[in-house]
Amino acid sequence: MRLGVLDVGSNTVHLQVVDAHRGAHPTPMSSTKTNLRLIEYLDSSGHISRDGVDRLCAAVSESAAVAETSRCEEMMAFATSAVRDAGNSIEVLDAVRDRTGVSLQVLSGPDEARLTFLAVRRWCGWSAGRILGLDIGGGSLELALGIDEVPDLALSLPLGAGRLTVDHLRQDPPTRAEVESLREWLDSELRSTAKELNDQGRPDKAVATSKTFRSLARLTGAAPSAAGPRVRRVLTAEGLHQLVPLITRMSGADLAEVDGVSRSRSYQLVAGALVAEAAMRALQLEELEICPWALREGMVLRRLDRAENGL
């Protein structure tokens, strides 16, 4: 089965075409990405601007055309934090459907965490035991904990790297005062969530997904993407502690020139690093293993599971 998975996130509109069937490793065939930064099109009232809607519709239309020429049997299209939290979310979804023919499914934060957790569980296997999964997106931070394929606890917090950059780090590079203020605020925001997760018991393995975590791991010495997805990569608290003072002194343009940092996300890497640092500190984690599968793979796996069950 050839599937198109269209992910409308806070940073990108990303279409991944995969060949997949139940019991097999989903095989990526192509990837088409538009760097939209939709979260930057939110106005003072929390609505996505007309220009943002126009650009979103253009990106979705282009992705739909690629899915058609790629002969996808089905396209699963979904939106996450930026559209989910927009004050005019319904109007945005209607505009996309009317102008492109694509109906976007808006995932709730907990559902986003659950689907990402499913991908992590399948990648890591049952021998991983109780898994704690973390994912930093542009608009939100997802956390999930459990021993099965459905987590016991799935949480979503509005602590995405893009959102925090817009709201808290106004200078480029950020000032020391901005960095310290955001660090203290994150500690406060994560305190109750960390208690809720810790009350469930310690995980056997802590796993991180998303481009932000992959970039941070690369900057602290993990293997490059060219080494392939099956190379073990980790992000350590010590490595992150050494990295943060360095990157907080660099502009987004300077970070974009660093190996392992994409130009489209370099501007929000500092905020992402501060979220990662705060989460590891709050959850008392010394190491995170990087998983190459995340939300899109979770969507594919759930679709295959339902197909086998005749749903």
Q: Residue 264 — very low, low, confident or very high, per pLDDT cuts 50/70/90?
A: confident
Q: At what angle do helices 109-124 and 295-308 cross, to 10 degrees?
A: 80
pTM, full prediction? 0.96
pLDDT at 310: 60
158 DSSP assignment: S
pLDDT at 192: 97
Distance CA 279, CA 22 (A): 34
Same fold, 2-106 and 110-295: yes
Average of pLDDT values for 242-265? 95
pLDDT for residue 2 is more than 80: yes
Helices (H) and strands (E) in the chain — how many of each?
Answer: 11, 11
Delimit the domains of the chain by residue range: 2-106, 110-295
Among residues 70, 69, 65, the alpha carbon closest in space to that of 102 is found at 65
Burial of 129 (0-12, 13-18, 19+ CB in 10 A): exposed
Query: For residue 14, which phi and psi values (nearest 5 degrees)?
Result: -125, 120
pLDDT for residue 207 is more than 90: yes
pLDDT at 311: 54
CATH fit for domain 2-106, picks 3.40.640.10, 3.30.420.40, 3.60.15.10, 3.40.1000.10: 3.30.420.40
Q: In terms of CATH, what superfamily is 110-295?
A: Exopolyphosphatase. Domain 2 (3.30.420.150)
Q: Residue 249 — very low, low, confident or very high, per pLDDT cuts 50/70/90?
A: very high
